[in-house]
Amino acid sequence: MEMTMTLHNAQQRDPRLVPAPFGSRLDTYIALSDFDRPTLVVDLDRVEQQYRALSAGLGRATIHYAVKANPAEEVIARLVALGSHFDAASRGEIALCLAQGARPRDISFGNTIKKPSDIAWAWDRGITLFAADSEEELEKIAEHAPGARVYIRLIVETSEADWPLTRKFGCDASKALELLDYATDLSLEPVGFSFHVGSQTRRAEMWIPALDALAATWRAAQAAGHELSVLNIGGGFPAFYGEEIEAPEAYARAVMGLVTERFGEVAHIMAEPGRGMVAEAGTIVAETMLVSRKSDRDVHRWVYLDIGRFSGLAETEGEAIRYQLETGRDHEAMGPCILAGPSCDSADVLYEKRPVMLPLGLKSGDRVLIRNTGAYTSTYSSVGFNGFPPLDVVCI
Amino acid sequence: MEMTMTLHNAQQRDPRLVPAPFGSRLDTYIALSDFDRPTLVVDLDRVEQQYRALSAGLGRATIHYAVKANPAEEVIARLVALGSHFDAASRGEIALCLAQGARPRDISFGNTIKKPSDIAWAWDRGITLFAADSEEELEKIAEHAPGARVYIRLIVETSEADWPLTRKFGCDASKALELLDYATDLSLEPVGFSFHVGSQTRRAEMWIPALDALAATWRAAQAAGHELSVLNIGGGFPAFYGEEIEAPEAYARAVMGLVTERFGEVAHIMAEPGRGMVAEAGTIVAETMLVSRKSDRDVHRWVYLDIGRFSGLAETEGEAIRYQLETGRDHEAMGPCILAGPSCDSADVLYEKRPVMLPLGLKSGDRVLIRNTGAYTSTYSSVGFNGFPPLDVVCI
């Protein structure tokens, strides 16, 4: 596949002026390009490689890519070509998938919070599988997508993920059983359960408590007479942010082993990798805006990049996700820095409690690569906070 | 001024179908309109009223509106017409102000973190006043805006604001004095100091510690032979979010009294209200998407709106800013709720530690007004997180 960049601001550098290319296709493209603003570069072949690895490991489970992780049209198109299914959070995401050639029956409407008009819109376009975790949501689905298949999202308490979830989504086990009955009363087709083990669950064994909890509810539902055919194991597939993770195929295979131990032959298993599919396929190219000290006595330098929490790096909130940084001076002496974004917002600080190591010689104008940023960056970007444009995205 | 809405999705309701209009122009417009997505409605006359009140209180100080608070073209145009000056955070904001008719000499480039190319661009367009808090920034200004006027931003420690600032901006007093000398060495014109008392400083007396600290540095600089002509007192002017604040004119007059006590006859005093100028002029019209309980034993309902932290309400982070909510059922019995946004992101929860009171009868489809949201909402909105469109803005 050729590297295309006609629609973007990136301009090819004269190859004679840059150092010899690095190993990867992504790094070569970046090394040979100029960018006039922070830009996420996504390597579609790397997405494909990850899809194939996850698919091999997940075996009989169907991958429903979590579109919200990175909804770039080129990413969706590549995944459609590979046979992926899709987990959509909104009407907008469904429309995107359909426009890229996904079949309606391969798209699930996985948000438990939906506008009635969006349910009707999706139903009219052939979407038949919906998530719910409450009576009111089931009523909306029954009215606007009569007879649809629904799965009930469970809360499973877990504290082992790098980013444990709040109680925002799901309901407890007894409520879930009631909702299966209620769905039947509403002439919907309750097909099973979903849950989410927590974002960035680094090792397969961390799934055990959640799967155990889910299995108990599953059996209780069967004992109550419900025919369950869909087990949606959600996301949680990790990306590399500096702490060791298992390779995707082995990880997925291990998770599926745990699932099979507990659930045997379920007709249909869904998995919804998002971060685990695209994060490592992307690198953000940023620029150092300023290096300074607040006081001659300060131990740490402050380093300001041209990208921050409101222009793509929202997941640095609470210093939760720690991106790996690379500069052209990483062979020089390093020292700790507080890292911040470019806006006039005092909350726009990326890493302060745990400073990052950057070259002592770093200065304004130096390029900084932010690794494994293919997920949950571009669409978090604000429309124009402080007058800065949103993060640009280039797919190669 | 006529209510115009030709460019937006808002559609006028049939007046016969809606209850009698409420008191204000804003409420009348909202009551008579339908919105197909979350929309911020800004009353430009209310902005003007606030400008006049602040201007009366600030007396001889010049208002530099902090554009980042709300950069809607109509807001900028109205403030240009009123004679306001502008504090710009970026090239994009400068371009916006110039396009709306602001004079270059009335715009300051107040971000201490600037791209060299943006400094050059601004200088070419006649911007002559720049902020800095470091050697490297002064060097960039000296190279790309030779001879420009600069003011040095000081860190002043304060813990009385509702939203105290981090140390991201400014430098300490001894560094500031060095920077004045360094600016002179670089053939720049160092004209004075700026500081920021902290966002949402609710009472004028809270300015005292910061002004005292600044005054000591000011006198030290004068003693060192610097001719200071610019005192930039920054922002911090509050808006009403449920806790009592002083009226804008009285507040501004009291702050200026404190300034005059400490600084006497400074040639030029700048003030940079942002939130205090526009927050109360705006109301977001949102919709209830879902009301549910996670468990039959749950004390609190969960209420999900069609707007959340990633679509305009970023300042609810840490539950810092507590917006006032209104519904059409506020005369009914009320109960506590956890309030969340519509996205599939577990961090998209607005108020949980301190639940909000909402009607027990609230249900999907009910309109919710979020008051005093004219500042720091629209531009924080993400470009399309989870496939949801950004917050719409209508100025009337």
Report the residue of A9, A152, A290, A353 to disrupt the B interface, i.e. the one with the largest count of B CBs within 10 Å: A290
Lowest mean pLDDT among A101-115, A363-377, B21-35, B98-112: B21-35
Are residues A300 and A245 both part of a single domain? no
- Interface contact B115-A295, CB threshold 8 A: no
Q: Is A92 on the interface with B (CB under 8 A)?
A: yes
What is the spatial distance between Cα A208 and Cα A199, in angstroms, rounded to a whole number? Answer: 15
Cβ contacts from A onto B, under 8 A: 217
Q: Does A136 touch chain B if contact means CB atoms closer than 8 Å?
A: yes
> Does residue A331 share a domain with residue A380?
yes
The neighbouring-strand residues paired with B227 are none
Q: Is residue A2 domain-resident?
A: no
Answer yes or no: is pLDDT of B8 > 70. no
Cα(A392)–Cα(A389) distance, integer angstroms: 8
Query: 3-state SS string over chain A?
Result: CCCCCCCCCCEECCHHHCCCCCCCHHHHHHHCEECCCCEEEECHHHHHHHHHHHHHHHCCCEEEEEHHHCCCHHHHHHHHHHCCEEEECCHHHHHHHHHCCCCHHHEEECCCCCCHHHHHHHHHCCCCEEEECCHHHHHHHHHHCCCCEEEEEECCCCCCCCECCCCCCCECHHHHHHHHHHHHHCCCEEEEEECCCCECCCCHHHHHHHHHHHHHHHHHHHHCCCCCCEEECCCCCCCCCCCCCCCHHHHHHHHHHHHHHHHCCCCEEEECCCHHHHHHHEEEEEEEEEEECCCCCCCCEEEEECCCCCCCCHHHHHHCCCCCEEECCCCCCEEEEEEECCCCCCCCEEEEEEEEEEECCCCCCCEEEEECCCCCCHHHCECCHHHCCCCEEEEC
Instruction: Answer yes or no: do B85 and B231 share one domain.
Output: yes
* Residue B6 belongs to a domain: no
- CB-nearest to A294 from B175, B291, B363 is B175
* Residue B78 sits at the chain A interface (C-beta within 8 Å): no
Q: Is B367 helix (H, G, I), strand (E, B) or coil?
A: strand
Domain assignment present for A3: no
Q: Which of B172, B293, B384 sits opposite A379 (nearest CB)?
A: B384
Cβ(A241)–Cβ(A325) under 8 Å? no
Contact call for residues B287 and B388 (beta carbons, < 8 A): no
Mutation target for A interface from B113, B275, B300, B364: give the one with most A CBs within 10 A: B113
| B57 and B164 share one domain | yes
Indicate if A36 and A57 belong to the same structural domain: no
Domain count, chain B: 2
Mean of all residue pLDDT scores within chain A = 92
Are A304 and A376 in the same domain? yes
Q: Give the model confidence (pLDDT) of B241-290 as tens digits.
A: 988 899 999 999 999 999 999 998 888 999 999 999 999 999 999 999 99
DSSP summary character for residue B119: H
Cα(A392)–Cα(B6) distance, integer angstroms: 30
Same-domain pairing of B17 and B99: no
Q: Distances from the Cα of B141 to the Cαs of A304, B114, B129, B134, in angstroms?
A: 16, 9, 10, 11
What pLDDT sits at residue A17? 45
| Whole-angstrom Cα Rg for chain A | 23
User: Per residue in A135-152, pLDDT tens?
Assistant: 999 999 999 999 999 999
Bridge partners of B359, per DSSP, are B334
Which tokens hold the place of A84?
């992926």
Verify whether the Cβ–Cβ distance B96 to A347 is below 8 Å. Answer: no
A88 contact B CB<8A: yes
* Distance from C-alpha of A175 to C-alpha of A233, rounded to nearest angstrom: 19
The answer for residues whose C-beta is within 8 angstroms of residue A16's C-beta and 6 or more apart is none
Q: pLDDT for B333-389, tens place per residue? A: 999 999 999 999 999 999 999 999 999 999 999 999 999 999 999 999 999 999 999
At residue B88, what are phi and psi to the nearest 5 degrees?
-110, 140
pLDDT of residue A16: 44
Provide the β-strand partners of residue B132: B152
- Partners of B290 on chain A (C-beta within 8 Å) are 112-114, 134, 136-137
Q: Hey, what are B279's tokens?
A: 């927050």
Quote the pLDDT of residue B4. Answer: 35
Q: Note whether B155 contacts A294, CB cutoff 8 Å.
A: yes
Distance from CA of A103 to the nearest CA of B (A): 18
pLDDT for res B161: 63
Residue of B nearest to A140 (CA): B364
Does B280 contact chain A (CB < 8 Å)?
no
- A165 phi and psi, to 5 degrees? -85, 155
ipTM of the complex: 0.90
Indicate whether B204 belongs to any domain: yes
- Mean pLDDT for the stretch of residues A45-64: 97
Nearest to B377 by CA among B321, B305, B303: B321
Q: Do B168 and A348 touch (CB under 8 A)?
A: yes
Distance (Å) from the alpha carbon of B266 to chain A's nearest alpha carbon: 26
Q: What are phi and psi of B184, to 5 degrees?
A: -60, -45
- Note if A344 is an active site residue: yes
Whether A9 has its CB under 8 Å from any CB of chain B: the answer is: no
Say yes or no for a CB contact (<8 Å) between B348 and A168.
yes
Task: Choose the mutation target among A96, A113, A143, A321 for the interface with B, i.e. most B CBs under 10 Å.
Answer: A113
* Same-domain status, B295 and B153: no
Chain B residues 239-278 with a CB less than 8 Å from chain A: none
Q: Which of B88, B136, B365 sits opposite A292 (nearest CB)?
A: B136
Residues B312 and B290 in one domain: yes
Tens digits of per-residue pLDDT, B174-205? 999 999 999 999 999 999 999 999 888 889 99
Tell me the two tokens of residue B289: 């998407």
Question: At which of B234, B253, B279 does a domain end?
Answer: B279
Residue B4 in any domain: the answer is no
- Nearest by CB: A346 against B168, B287, B344: B168
Closest CA to A201 of A129, A258, A139: A258
Does the distance separating the beta carbons of B384 and A380 come in below 8 Å? no
C-alpha distance from B23 to closest chain A C-alpha (Å)? 30
Please tell me the distance in Å from A342's CA to the nearest CA on chain B.
Answer: 6
Contact B292 A171 (CB under 8 A): yes
Regarding whether A53 and A157 lie in a shared domain, the answer is yes
B112: left (phi over 0), alpha (psi -120 to 50) or beta: alpha
Evaluate if residue A387 carries a pLDDT over 80. yes
Q: Tell me the chain A residues in contact with residue B108 when contact means C-beta distances shorter than 8 Å.
A: none
Q: Which chain B residue's Cα is nearest to A111?
A: B344
* Mean of the per-residue pLDDT values of chain B: 92
| Residue B94 sits in the same domain as residue B169 | yes
- Does the residue A35 lie in any domain? yes
Which range is least confidently modeled, A18-32, A187-201, A273-287? A18-32
**Model pLDDT for residues B44-79, shown as the tens digit of each residue:** 999 999 999 999 999 999 999 999 999 999 999 999
Catalytic residue among A97, A171, A337, A344: A344
Residue-range definition of the domain harbouring residue B76 = 44-279
Section B24-50 average pLDDT = 96
Indicate if the pLDDT at residue A13 is higher than 60. Answer: no
Evaluate whether residue A1 is within a structural domain: no
Chain A segment 96-135 residues within 8 A of B by beta carbon are: 96, 110-116, 133-135
Let me know if residue B67 belongs to a domain: yes
Same domain, A197 and A325: no
Residue A365 sits at the chain B interface (C-beta within 8 Å): yes
Whether residue B7 has pLDDT greater than 50:
no
Closest by Cβ to A296, choosing from B90, B174, B378: B174
% residues pLDDT > 90 (chain B): 85
Per the residue annotation, which of B97, B171, B337, B344 is the catalytic one? Answer: B344
C-beta atoms of A165 and B67 within 8 A: no
Tell me the CATH number at B300.
2.40.37.10
From B93, B155, B294, residue closest to A175, measured CB to CB: B294
Residue A47 class from Cβ within 10 Å (0-12 exposed, 13-18 middle, 19+ buried)? buried
Which of A226, A254, A279 is at the close of a domain? A279
pLDDT at residue A340 is higher than 90: yes
Contact assignment for B349 to A88 by CB distance below 8 Å:
no
pLDDT-derived band of residue A159, with 50, 70 and 90 as boundaries? low
CATH number for the domain spanning A143: value is: 3.20.20.10
pLDDT value of residue B21: 40
pLDDT in tens, A175-234: 999 999 999 999 999 999 999 998 888 899 999 999 999 999 999 999 999 999 999 999
Strands (E), chain B: 11-12, 33-34, 39-42, 62-66, 85-88, 107-109, 129-132, 149-153, 189-194, 230-232, 268-271, 282-292, 301-305, 325-327, 334-340, 349-359, 367-371, 392-395
Pairing of strands B301-305, B334-340: parallel
Residues 294-323 (A) with a CB less than 8 A from some CB of B: 294-296, 302, 304, 306, 310, 314, 317
**Cβ of residue A347 closer than 8 Å to a chain B Cβ:** yes
Residue A180's contacts (CB-CB under 8 Å, 6 or more residues apart) are: A152, A190, A221, A224, A226
Indicate if the pLDDT at residue A75 is higher than 60. Answer: yes
Domain boundary among A279, A296, A316: A279
B315-328: pLDDT as tens digits: 999 998 999 999 99
Handedness of CA B214, B219, B221, B222 (dihedral sign): positive
